[in-house]
Amino acid sequence: MRVRTIRIACLAMVVLISICGLSARVLASFGEPPVLPSSFHGTVTFNGANVPAGTEITAGHGGMIYARTTTIMYEDASYYSLDVPGDDPETPECEGGTEGEKLEFTIGGKVATHPPAAWHSGTNEALDLAAGDEPPTVIAPTVIAPTPAPTRVMLYLPLLLKR
């Protein structure tokens, strides 16, 4: 009886060690979690005036654009909100920013003036943008027509009562 108990215990240990080893390999195959974006938001002006809704805003470095968005109007001011992705270190391409990298912004294709902005993973920074001289290029906003709600139909069925 004692030999059988030892064999069962040894078999259980081998199975447990195999499961743990397999789990470690599976978890290691997932790699690193994705890099969090560096987010920016604020007002947008051109020659001191608000830009129209739909004006394109870009962020990048060295002529490479990492992210783009368009402006919206809210309470008589133009605003933008932009998530700049981080670079994936496991690919040879440059898809986004790296820690501390200086970012350049454009408003409708014109270089924006702003306080120094650097890419930092997981941040959300208020950054007002301004530009001047020629008017910026406006991208026409996409209008999505709302889906009409289904019409309710009332259906009355006669009620028959038995006496």
The rounded percent of the chain whose pLDDT value lies above 70 is: 66
Lowest mean pLDDT among 5-19, 31-45, 76-90: 5-19
- Predicted local distance difference test score (pLDDT) of residue 34: 77
pTM: 0.64
Higher pLDDT, 88 or 140: 88
Q: Domains along the chain?
A: 38-131 (2.60.40)
- Predicted local distance difference test score (pLDDT) of residue 66: 93
Dihedral of CA 59/63/64/68: which sign? positive
- Predicted local distance difference test score (pLDDT) of residue 113: 85
- Predicted local distance difference test score (pLDDT) of residue 103: 93
Higher pLDDT, 95 or 52: 52
Cβ 129 vs Cβ 45: under 8 Å: yes
- Predicted local distance difference test score (pLDDT) of residue 72: 94
DSSP calls for 108-129: TTEEPB-S--B--TT-EEE--E
